[in-house]
Amino acid sequence: MRTTSSAPSILLVDEIASPLGRIVIAARAGRLCALEFGRPRMARQLARRYGRLPRRPARDPFGISTRIRNYLSGKLTAVDAIPVDTGGTPFQRRVWRALRGIRAGQTMSYGALAHALGRHTAVRAVGAANGRNPISIVVPCHRLVGGDGRLTGYGGGLWRKRWLLDHEGAARAATRRTTPRGEPRTGRRRSPR
């Protein structure tokens, strides 16, 4: 039985078995609010954002669990249109919206994303926002890589980041980066200042 409605004052929680381990999601008012790997991390995140807001187990809230399962089975665009409620600061929300613009199979460096946001010197701020992303996979923070193409930080563990990029066909070398418009890099580099 799929849950199709919920009072905004209740968080609906579901768990999904996956090759990445147990995925826990929370949703309310038709939007995905959190996606984490494991209950303890999810509980801490929800407590920070929602305090003591009641939580109720729900099977496939708003069809979100089905979409995530479809993504995990190879339908990579299945999560693209999931409505989200990320919370966060205005800058964090800008970063998270930009992440959703990186297509499956592509990666982008933290610096390239900062540049795309018009904040050329905000590479660390982009990294910090990426690290606070409350909705892994759907807000694809795993698609950000280091400036040299190496895999760097991922709250769920680098092995999960590598799995997700392999699953999307991007990890053979996380060195295949894109420019802010999604076009392959030419290989030319700017000279150091």
Q: What is the pLDDT of residues 73-117, one digit of tens each?
A: 999 999 999 999 999 999 999 999 999 999 999 999 999 999 999
Rounded to 5°, angle at Cα 129 from 87 and 44: 55
Q: Which residues are catalytic?
A: 141
Instruction: Please report the pLDDT score of residue 46 as a whole number.
Output: 86
142 within some domain: yes
Tell me the average pLDDT of the chain: 85
* Integer CA distances (angstroms), 150 to 44, 51, 55, 142, 144, in order: 29, 37, 38, 12, 10
Q: Between these two residues, 150 and 26, which has the higher pLDDT value?
A: 26
* DSSP assignment of 149-188: S-----TT-HHHHHHHHHHHT-GGGTT-BB-TTSPBP-S-
Residue 181 has pLDDT above 80, yes or no: no
Compute the CA torsion angle 99, 104, 110, 116 (nearest 10 deg): -60
CATH for 18: 3.30.160
Count CB neighbours of 21 within 10 A. 13
d(CA 17, CA 85): 23
Beta-strand ranges (E) seen in the chain are 11-16, 23-28, 31-37, 55-57, 108-109, 144-145
Residue 103: which domain range? Answer: 90-173
pLDDT (tens digit per residue) in 3-57? 444 445 899 999 999 999 999 999 999 999 999 997 777 888 888 888 888 999 9
What is the distance between the alpha carbons of residues 58 and 40, in angstroms, rounded to a whole number? 18
> 99 and 36 in one domain?
no
Same domain for 31 and 65? yes
**What are residue 14's phi and psi, to 5 degrees?**
-135, 155
Domain membership of residue 150 (yes or no) is: yes
Residues 102 and 162 reside in one and the same domain:
yes
Place of tokens 């030419």: 186
- The answer to whether the predicted template modeling score (pTM) of the entire model surpasses 0.85 is no
Residues 51 and 102 in one domain: no
Cα(111)–Cα(115) distance, rounded to whole angstroms?
6
Instruction: Report yes or no on 182 lying in a domain.
Output: no
Give pLDDT, residue 172.
52
Phi-psi region of 188 (alpha: psi -120 to 50; beta: other; left: phi over 0): beta
CATH number at residue 120: 1.10.10.10
179 within some domain:
no
Q: Residues 94, 169: one domain?
A: yes
- Please give the average per-residue pLDDT across 131-149, as a whole number: 93
Q: Mapping DSSP to helix (H, G, I), strand (E, B) and coil, where does residue 15 land?
A: strand
* Residue 63 and residue 22 share a domain: yes
**Number of domains comprising the chain:** 2
Predicted pLDDT of residue 171: 57
- 50 and 114 share a domain? no
Q: What is the pLDDT of residue 175?
A: 41
154 in any annotated domain: yes
pLDDT of amino acid 142: 95
